[in-house]
């Protein structure tokens, strides 16, 4: 998958830094760079497809938040800003992520990977609608047997070194399987599951109670670690009133 990118930033050094990051990332293609939203408006309509837009917030004439509402909704917006207080505003306009300046390549890649996951999920959804993919169940190896597990019955998955425990709704005993939690995460539909800890993946629709930052399943309390809290809070904000 190759994603087309546009950078809009009125700070020359920030623009050049992001440009260098895009150019050294194999699956990204830079199709435009602009020093203002106004300059981008004059040219962006000629670009066939923009997948990711790196957009500065504080710019003259039209700021990034305003400009983001004019962009094709299929374009994933990643805000770039030196001010953390814009984080909540960025979620209000449905941005994919925001990066605080100075931006490291590690933070850049983490944001870009979110875009990759979004487009993969979108493509998977289209495949499901066309009937080419079946996400109703998954097969796992357990006790030398291959078990079919309905996706909708999974509450959460617990990682234990090289093993995982799959906790199912209505079942008192978890299923043990010799597979890493990372491999299991790759097999699960990303629109239904979310990683909340290095050792835990939960099914979004099964989350009924959150107590002091922990997800509650009966007597089990699932922690949300700092590494995954940002994505988890974004999910909650999108489904909160």
- Residue pair 64/58 in contact (Cβ under 8 Å)? The answer is yes
At residue 133, the pLDDT reads 44
Per residue in 165-181, pLDDT tens? 999 999 989 999 988 89
At residue 45, the pLDDT reads 63
Which parts of the chain register pLDDT below 50? 131-133
Same domain, 55 and 118: yes
At residue 92, the pLDDT reads 53
Same domain, 86 and 185: no
Torsion angles phi and psi, residue 178, rounded to 5: -85, 80
Residue finishing a domain among 75, 102, 130: 130
Question: Position of tokens 């109670």?
Answer: 209
Please list the residues that pair with 160 across neighbouring strands.
Answer: 163
Q: How many domains does the chain have?
A: 2
pTM score over 0.75? no
Classify residue 241 by its DSSP letter. Answer: -
Cα–Cα distances (Å) from 181 to 70, 184, 215, in that order, read: 40, 5, 18
Of 121, 99, 118, residue with least CA distance to 108 = 99
At residue 129, the pLDDT reads 56
Which tokens go with 46?
Answer: 């000629």
For residue 31, what are the domain limits? 3-130
The CATH number of the domain holding residue 56 is 3.40.50.2300
């Amino acid at each position: 998958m190759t994603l087309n990118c546009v950078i809009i930033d009125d700070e020359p050094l920030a623009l050049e830094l992001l440009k260098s990051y895009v150019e050294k990332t194999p699956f990204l293609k830079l199709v435009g760079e602009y020093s203002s939203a106004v300059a981008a408006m004059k040219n962006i309509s000629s670009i066939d497809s923009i997948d990711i837009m790196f957009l500065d917030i504080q710019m003259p004439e039209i700021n990034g938040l305003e400009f983001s509402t004019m962009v094709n909704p299929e374009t994933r917006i990643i805000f770039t800003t030196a001010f953390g207080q814009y984080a909540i505003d960025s979620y209000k306009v449905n941005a994919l992520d925001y990066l605080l300046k100075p931006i490291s390549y590690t933070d850049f890649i983490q944001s870009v990977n979110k875009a990759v996951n979004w487009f993969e999920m979108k493509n998977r959804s289209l495949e499901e609608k066309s009937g080419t993919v079946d996400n109703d169940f998954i097969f796992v190896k357990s006790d030398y047997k291959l078990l079919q597990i309905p996706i909708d019955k999974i509450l959460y998955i617990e990682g234990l070194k090289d093993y995982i425990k799959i906790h199912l709704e209505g079942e008192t005993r978890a299923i043990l399987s010799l597979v890493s939690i990372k491999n299991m995460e790759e097999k699960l539909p990303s629109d239904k599951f979310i990683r909340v800890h290095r050792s835990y993946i939960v099914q979004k629709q099964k989350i009924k109670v959150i107590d002091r930052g922990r997800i509650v399943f009966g007597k089990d309390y699932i922690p949300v670690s700092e590494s995954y809290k940002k994505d988890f809070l974004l999910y909650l904000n999108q489904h909160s009133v």
